[in-house]
Amino acid sequence: MGWTTLVPPETLAVALQRPDLVIVDCRFSSSSPGAGEFAYEHSHLPGAVYAHLERDLSDMSRRGQGDGRHPWPDAETFTAKLGQWGILPHHQIVAYDDADGSMAARFWFLMRALGHEKVAVLDGGLTRWQGMRLPTNSDTVRRRATTYSGTFDASRLLDANQVQERLAAGDLLADARPADRFRGENDLMDRVHGHVPGAVNRPYAENMQDGRFKSPGQLAAEFRALLDGRSPEQAIMMCGSGVTACHNLLAMERAGLSGAKLYTGSWSGWIEDPSRPIAQG
């Protein structure tokens, strides 16, 4: 099956020469959108290609249409990017960033929603890789362009109306933002503060311990408590713009709890319609 959730740096390091391996650098900072690519050009994992959150992993042309700050791309556009990077359905993909895995998790879920199983996130990211003195370089990476065909599993990608329907049916909506932003405090990202009525808070940072993901057993216990008797398929993850919510989806998959859904527009999409209710506190 290959790596489908996380891969430790020491495991990836001994597999760098695998012909079926593609590494994707997902570094990005919302405060400086070009910083990740700049850092990539100066140093990256050997053979890695670069994926920019706003240029490659979102469709920014759809902003303001109810799809939030980082609109989910359509499959045709995204698979064209995969083709440019020389990625094919049989490839083992490993994504990484330089923080907590949240940017890499967005790429991970894009691929999983396409039905690509062999995709994983580097556990501990670039920070742990460098801390272990594993190799990096600044070589220009050129992979042979190809064609990747696929469509997203629409059942796992929900809009605001579908979220309201599922909440009314008793599903769980979990918000991955920090607790203060969920309450409506200290939010510098969105003009309206608060959360979707009926949502619960599961900050994605709680998936981590000492810079790495918690064990599958720990994550399973925490998410089962959050589900409160529901199946994983009855869980919907959201955040500010549909990015860090993917970290919770990855953590659930790591815990053996497969099938949760993503509210793609998340909070920034929810507030684009002023008639939608808002909760605070």
Task: Give me the active site residues, please.
Answer: 239
Instruction: Name 38's Cβ contacts closer than 8 Å, sequence gap at least 6.
Output: none
Residue given tokens 């690509």 in the structure block = 116
Distance of alpha carbon 25 from alpha carbon 48, whole angstroms: 6
Instruction: Name 281's Cβ contacts closer than 8 Å, sequence gap at least 6.
Output: 183, 184
Strands 119-122 and 92-96: parallel
